[in-house]
Amino acid sequence: MRIALAQLDYHIGNFEMNTKKIIDKITLAKSKKSDIIVFSELSICGYPPRDFLEFKDFIERCTQSIEEIAAHCEGIAAIVGGPSINPKREGKDLYNSAYFLADKSIKKTIHKTLLPTYDVFDEYRYFEPNTVFECIEYKDEKIALTICEDLWNINENPLYTTCPMDELIKQEPTMMINIAASPFDYKHIEERKKALRDNAEKYQIPLFYVNHVGAQTELIFDGGSVAFNGKAELVNELKYFEEDFKVVDTDDFEEPVLDFGFNSIELIHDALVLGISEYFSKLGFKKAILGMSGGIDSAIVLALAVEALGKENVRSVMLPSKYSSEGSVNDSLLMIKNTESPYDIIPIEDIVNSVESTLKPQFEGTTPDIAEENIQARSRGLLLMAISNKFGYILLNTTNKSEAAVGYGTLYGDMCGGLAVLGDVYKTQIYELAKYINRNEEIIPLNIIQKAPSAELRPGQKDSDSLPDYSILDKVLYEYIENRQGPNELVAMGFDSALVQRILKMVNTNEYKRHQTPPILRVSPKAFGSGRRLPIVGKYLS
């Protein structure tokens, strides 16, 4: 049997585009003499549709699109993901389903059994879990068709009490097909491959897996669709971070693919570029603006944005204050020259002086402190947002994960923006990312990489005045945020008790700030945003 794997980039709610893409690939698969073409989970509407699923019209348009696609399934079968209506009176109104289309009609509808409701997933909010297990018979093959999470309950510590393949294997299927919308993080590719390989090894039949590619707001989908033969050998692997199409012949599997593993920094780079590009294109924007400080974070955001959007579409604005060093301005100019992108220089000293003068009666008798420092950051945010509004730019936020974690940023100042590019990248990873960007030529000036980080809001200021060294801070943050290790566990790892208490208190008392930040592109196993839900007013460690 010839099976076409169609790894596509969908747009949530864009039924016309999604349907056309699917039909075009069905036509291509026919020309390649394919028997079945496989698309990904909820491909008809895009993933995750979230509360759009609560609109009757949205579901009706999904159904209409499925019927339109089915009309093109003559001489070929197609597997397409979409919501379906639960005809029962009890339970949720919808299923997360895989439609098996052939002979110009819907032949079978298979529902998802395991509904992830953790981290960025919230599927049980919308869908009823499947309880009926059926294989699909087609052209002398018996297919065990599952949806994403259905193949993940195979580890030593299963999350669910049901394993769909354990039920389906009783019907003696000849192959497994899994359609998925599996979001990227820099650890997930290897975890995903292992889960799929474990399934192929356990059930000893070929496995075909099709994943989403592209990005939907903060979620990035890396693709990487695969095929395993009955010996659990990886025989086909589609591209990462781009659309791809491949026909696999089960009667003549290719030689096993050599798996060399992945460089996490390279993956983060590719994911961020895709995330920026998709956010702009799917919102209908073309141009970005950012504040260029002379620091490494803004330099990296500029480099990534230029790669994603084109140098002519990214405008840097330098906003020097009286505390900005000549080196920072010169470093920024060199960085902008290297990227050949447009820029402006707008000094903020007069604006800051005006605000301070206006507030003089209210601030009478007080000593200058963080309030005056934040006036500088908010003056910059004001100007950047004004230019954004006037010319239709999206402001790119340059705050990194280390800063966001401990609240080292100014609300309505440097935390402004329409998209947070580096909010899931720790400061120590930022330096590795800079080296990767400079792998072929010096795009980010060496001085930007080497100098001590500083917000330059007061004379001689350095990040180390307010924060522990990033090499230590990031280790504590990673264990606390990604690995959910509490204070006792952190101290047992060898971290100083007072330092742990200080860092964790900063993280928890600044939750209110993170609730007001732009969407953060997710590249780690635990990002700030929809995947990390903590109370703002909680007392724990604060």
The residues annotated with a catalytic role in the active site are: 41, 112, 148
Tell me if residue 62 falls in helix, strand or coil.
helix
Q: Which DSSP string corresponds to 150-176?
A: GG-TTSSS-SSS--HHHHHGGG--SEE
Query: What single DSSP character describes residue 128?
Result: P
Can you read off the two tokens belonging to residue 130? 């499947």
Joined together, the tokens standing for residue 114 give 């395991």
> What's the per-residue H, E or C state across 209-235?
EEECEEEECCEEEEECCEEECCCCCEE
Q: How far apart are CA 372 and CA 384, in angstroms?
A: 19
Query: Residue 141's closest CA among 79, 50, 55?
Result: 79
Give the rounded distance of the alpha carbon of 217 from its chain centre.
Answer: 8
Annotate 8-19 with three-state secondary structure: CECCCCCHHHHH
Which tokens in the block code for residue 17? Answer: 């585009």
Order of strands across the sheet that contains 226-228? 136-138, 141-147, 175-180, 207-211, 226-228, 234-237
Beta pairing, strands 394-397 & 288-291: parallel
DSSP string, 221-283: EEB--EEE-TTS-EEEE--BSS-EEEEEETTSPPPPPP-----HHHHHHHHHHHHHHHHHHHH
Encoded tokens for 377: 């950051």
Would you call 9 exposed, middle or buried from its count of C-beta atoms within 10 A (0-12, 13-18, 19+)? Answer: buried
C-beta contacts of 195-200 below 8 A and 24+ residues apart: 195/151, 195/152, 195/154, 195/155, 196/151, 196/226, 196/228, 197/228, 197/232, 197/234, 198/154, 198/155, 199/151, 199/154, 199/165, 200/176, 200/228, 200/229, 200/230, 200/231, 200/232
| Residue 357, token pair as written in the block | 């003068």
Asked whether 477 and 507 are in contact (CB, 8 A), the reply is yes
